[in-house]
């Protein structure tokens, strides 16, 4: 009896089928899957998987579609007319606004004093608060005086007092009675005396501060040397230095 080996008797198409079903490398299968899904991007020597992106934004707003950050306004004004509830205006450049001292201011004798007042507040719209300090007097610019060598200016003395103007009731007055503790904020030679403290002005005209100036020709001017002071005139100017407050 003739014998045949199993290999020689196997059909040829069976061998071909085994070749097609043979396992393929894992890397080949992974690359094929990515390519089929449309997520494969070939670049250079490697592969990059594409990704979705997203962004979120915010802005500083006012709740009504407008900008939400800005700057406040800051403005201080003055009034020189009692009862110091009206007539406020800006006089920011030297020499500023004229204040009228009490009668006899231009004919002082030794030992006499004269008085003048001014009130300050922030503007009535949206101004932020302010701190104010009175500077020492300086000769007013642009005003012609008769005081050769500044003799009278350096001889005069000054006192400064301040009170808050009441919202209702009697307006403050500028007389010798105004100079009591703690209202007196400065006293000394005219040429070197400013306020020793600052005063707070409320936001949007929340408070009004009244200042009283007393200018005195000292009694010592009655001496024989004091005769050189006769017939002189001066025009002291005071600066109210203000700083905005948060």
DSSP-assigned states of every residue in 6-18: HHHHS-HHHHHHH
Answering whether pTM is above 0.85, one says no
Residue listed under structure tokens 């005396």: 193
223 has pLDDT over 50: yes
The chain-wide mean pLDDT, for the chain, equals: 83
| Confidence bin at 22 (pLDDT 50/70/90) | low
pLDDT at 35: 47
**pLDDT tens for each residue of 94-119:** 889 999 999 999 999 999 999 999 99
Strands (E) located in 21-145: 40-43, 46-49, 76-79, 113-122, 130-134, 138-139
Domain ranges of the chain: 76-244
In this predicted model, what pLDDT tens digit does every residue of 117-174 receive, in sequence order? 999 999 988 899 999 999 999 999 999 999 999 999 999 999 999 999 887 778 899 9
Contact 120, 175 (CB under 8 A): no
CA dihedral 92, 94, 100, 105 (to 10 degrees): 160
Query: CA 9 to CA 158: how far, in whole Å?
Result: 135
């Amino acid at each position: 009896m003739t014998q045949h080996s199993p290999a020689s008797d196997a059909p040829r198409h069976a061998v071909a089928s085994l070749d097609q079903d043979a396992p393929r490398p894992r890397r080949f299968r992974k690359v094929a899957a990515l390519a089929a899904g449309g997520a494969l991007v070939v670049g250079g020597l490697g592969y990059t998987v594409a990704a979705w992106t997203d962004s979120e934004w915010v802005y500083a707003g006012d709740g009504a579609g407008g900008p939400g950050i800005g700057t406040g306004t800051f403005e201080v004004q003055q009034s020189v007319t009692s009862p110091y509830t009206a007539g406020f205006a800006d006089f920011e450049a030297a020499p500023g606004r004229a204040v009228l001292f009490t009668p006899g201011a231009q004919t002082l004798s030794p030992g006499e004093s004269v008085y003048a007042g001014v009130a300050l507040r922030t503007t009535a719209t949206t101004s932020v608060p302010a701190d104010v300090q009175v500077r020492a007097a300086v000769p007013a610019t642009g005003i012609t005086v008769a005081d050769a060598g500044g003799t009278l200016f350096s001889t005069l003395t000054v006192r400064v007092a301040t009170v808050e103007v009441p919202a209702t009731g009697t307006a403050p007055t500028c007389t010798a009675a105004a100079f009591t503790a703690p209202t007196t904020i400065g006293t000394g030679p005219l040429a070197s005396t400013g306020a020793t403290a600052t005063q707070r002005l409320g936001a949007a005209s929340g408070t009004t501060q009244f200042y009283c100036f007393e200018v005195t020709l000292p009694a010592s001017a009655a001496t024989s040397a004091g005769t050189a002071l006769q017939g002189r005139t001066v025009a002291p100017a005071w600066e109210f230095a203000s700083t905005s407050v948060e």
